[in-house]
């Protein structure tokens, strides 16, 4: 009875702390919480709800109209649009806070060691809020939650029928939310291999793999989601040029210290390990994923946490409470640091943020009819889409790359000014150019005396000479 009560208190305190930390991280990212992915997700969700269909081709660009689109996030678009329709941008903020809180909460049951929990919490603050700001309104956040819940289920010694059914529905949901479902199937397979090597329980080990693999195919693209995932993660043109797909820069002292802390924690924990096969694959894969792409930092923390799990003394109740005490200390410190910024986020607050100011140039374009054949910066395309203007490109970089790799390469080379963009502009018959006011392209066009139609700290609009 006493143990049950203690567990209930433990869960309640953990849930409250997780929500508080998620809220603080949300406030940290509030100025740019809504970003380019958010806007085309909302617009495509609106189209799919109104037309009762799933978009599998492009309807928003004038450069590759009708191109095939692996809309692997279609269900999230629909859910996101539904939230936005009823609760506005503030609703998107609070839904993201809840999802991140659940990630933080479930992680404390996936990761068993105190040091692993503490390091995961610190890594989460860095990845979601401080360095990379992955706390934004996009499908990746929910995908990480599904990944976390999956790890919690498959780490159990024996899965019941109820757990297998739960896993099946999680993977159906995941397969229609984000292509990272492929990662989920892979790690389910990894757990199966480790169980077979350790205990020779072939049938028990294979069941979750079959369940997850079959469920992952229940999506509009079926096995195509695997093809898409492979093509996207091996597309050097994208991974070398899109910021979140680049490797981390360890000149950042904070990042370097976190990685060193994880490595030291793993080395210390392995002294008590009987079998490195239980831990080493997770450590290597977690580190390798992060070293290959910044965005994978959100997965790295979970995998490295699992890698230092198997220390028996950590399962004592007092050790669990120690991790909560440290969690409370971290949340208290974060609360004090951001106390002046904490506020009740409503729609009015959302529309005052920096991301919303980018709409000023788009509204100016609509008012004055500057909407035909706009050659725009990658990060500004979704703003055009949201206001009903055809863009040249947007942050669906995977779609543009798969539809026309040559065009994608030319676009990157010209917007990064690796070559003079005049021929590219002429070839596309662009009439207007919308770009970053501080970028190299803007400086080049000013030097070429392109007429400036609009300029502020967020964007600059040029008219192409006839």
Would you say residue 181 has pLDDT above 80?
Answer: yes
Give the number of other CB atoms < 10 A from CB of residue 255: 21
Q: Contact 308/261 with Cβ under 8 angstroms? A: no
Beta bridge partners of 435: 460
Residue 419 three-state SS: coil
Beta bridge partners of 463: 432, 451
What distance in Å separates the CA atoms of residue 100 and residue 145, rounded to the nearest whole number? 7
- In terms of Cβ atoms closer than 10 Å to its own Cβ (0-12, 13-18, 19+), residue 201 is middle
What distance in Å separates the CA atoms of residue 402 and residue 227, rounded to the nearest whole number? 11
Q: 393-404 pLDDT, tens per residue?
A: 999 999 999 999
Q: Contact 444/382 with Cβ under 8 angstroms? A: no
Q: 2-32 pLDDT, tens per residue?
A: 567 778 888 899 999 999 999 999 999 999 9
- In terms of Cβ atoms closer than 10 Å to its own Cβ (0-12, 13-18, 19+), residue 213 is middle
Q: Contact 293/138 with Cβ under 8 angstroms? A: no
Higher pLDDT: 8 or 275? It is 8
User: Sorting pLDDT into bands at 50, 70 and 90, what band is 350?
Assistant: very high
Query: What is the percent of the chain with per-residue pLDDT over 90, rounded to a whole number?
Result: 67
What distance in Å separates the CA atoms of residue 120 and residue 19, rounded to the nearest whole number? 16
Beta bridge partners of 432: 374, 463
Domain regions of the chain by residue span: 2-32+70-341, 358-463
DSSP 342: -
Question: Which sign, positive or negative, has the C-alpha torsion 89, 95, 97, 103?
Answer: negative
Q: Contact 106/80 with Cβ under 8 angstroms? A: no
What average pLDDT does range 67-77 have in this prediction? 95
Q: Where are the alpha helices (DSSP H) in 358-432?
A: 359-368, 381-386, 397-403, 405-415, 422-428
- In terms of Cβ atoms closer than 10 Å to its own Cβ (0-12, 13-18, 19+), residue 34 is buried
Strands (DSSP E) contained in 307-385 are 374-376
Higher pLDDT: 63 or 338? It is 63
For residue 297, the model assigns a pLDDT of 87
Q: Contact 242/91 with Cβ under 8 angstroms? A: no
What distance in Å separates the CA atoms of residue 379 and residue 77, rounded to the nearest whole number? 19
Q: Contact 254/131 with Cβ under 8 angstroms? A: yes
Give the number of other CB atoms < 10 A from CB of residue 246: 14
Please, what's the b/e burial string for 289-327 (b: 16 or more CB within 10 A of its CB; e: otherwise)?
Answer: bbeebbbbbbbbbbbbbbbbbbbeebeeeeebeebbebb
For residue 200, the model assigns a pLDDT of 78
Q: Contact 389/399 with Cβ under 8 angstroms? A: no
User: Sorting pLDDT into bands at 50, 70 and 90, what band is 168?
Assistant: very high
Rounded alpha-carbon distances, angstroms, from residue 186 to 128, 191, 212: 24, 9, 9
What distance in Å separates the CA atoms of residue 424 and residue 95, rounded to the nearest whole number? 42
Beta bridge partners of 460: 435, 455
For residue 269, the model assigns a pLDDT of 78
- 3-state DSSP helix/strand/coil % of the chain, to nearest 5: 70, 5, 25
What distance in Å separates the CA atoms of residue 250 and residue 343, rounded to the nearest whole number? 34
Rounded alpha-carbon distances, angstroms, from residue 172 to 70, 73, 76, 145, 212: 16, 12, 13, 14, 8
């Amino acid at each position: 009875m006493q143990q049950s009560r203690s567990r209930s208190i433990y869960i309640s305190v953990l849930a409250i702390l997780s929500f508080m930390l998620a809220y603080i991280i949300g406030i940290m990212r509030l100025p740019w919480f809504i970003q380019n992915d958010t806007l085309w997700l909302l617009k495509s969700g609106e189209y799919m709800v109104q037309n009762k269909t799933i978009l599998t081709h492009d309807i928003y660009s004038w450069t590759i109209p009708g191109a095939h689109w692996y809309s692997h996030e279609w269900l999230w678009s629909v859910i996101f649009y539904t939230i936005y329709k009823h609760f506005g941008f503030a609703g998107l903020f609070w839904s993201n806070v809840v999802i991140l809180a659940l990630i933080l909460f479930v992680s404390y049951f996936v990761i068993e060691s105190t040091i692993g929990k503490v390091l995961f919490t610190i890594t989460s603050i860095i990845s979601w809020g401080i360095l990379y700001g992955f706390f934004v309104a996009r499908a990746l956040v929910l995908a990480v939650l599904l990944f976390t819940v999956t790890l919690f289920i498959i780490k159990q010694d024996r899965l019941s029928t109820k757990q297998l059914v739960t896993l099946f529905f999680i993977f159906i949901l995941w397969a229609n939310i984000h292509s990272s479902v492929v990662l989920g199937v892979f790690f389910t397979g990894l757990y199966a291999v480790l169980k077979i090597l350790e205990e020779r329980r072939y049938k028990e080990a294979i069941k979750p793999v079959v369940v997850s693999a079959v469920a992952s195919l229940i999506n509009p693209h079926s096995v195509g989601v695997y093809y898409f995932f492979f093509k996207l993660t091996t597309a050097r043109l994208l991974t070398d040029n899109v910021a979140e797909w680049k490797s981390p820069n360890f000149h950042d002292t904070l990042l370097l210290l976190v990685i060193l802390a994880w490595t030291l924690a793993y080395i210390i924990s392995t002294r008590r390990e009987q079998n490195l096969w239980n831990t080493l694959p997770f450590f290597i894969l977690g580190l390798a994923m992060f070293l290959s792409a910044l965005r994978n930092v959100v997965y790295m923390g979970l995998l490295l946490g699992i890698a230092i799990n198997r220390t028996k003394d950590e399962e004592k109740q007092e050790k669990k409470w120690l991790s909560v005490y440290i969690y409370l200390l971290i949340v208290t410190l974060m609360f004090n640091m951001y106390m002046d910024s904490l506020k009740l986020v409503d729609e009015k607050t959302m529309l005052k943020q920096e991301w919303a100011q980018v709409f000023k140039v788009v509204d100016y374009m609509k008012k004055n009819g500057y909407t035909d054949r706009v050659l725009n910066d990658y990060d500004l395309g979704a703003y055009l889409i949201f206001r009903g203007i055809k863009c040249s490109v947007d942050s669906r970089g995977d779609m543009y790359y798969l539809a026309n790799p040559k065009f994608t390469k030319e676009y990157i080379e010209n917007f990064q000014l690796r070559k003079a963009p005049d021929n590219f502009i002429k070839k596309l018959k662009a009439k207007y150019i919308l770009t970053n006011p501080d970028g190299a392209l803007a400086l080049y066009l000013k030097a070429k005396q392109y007429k400036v139609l609009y300029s502020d700290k967020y964007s600059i609009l040029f008219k192409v000479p006839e």
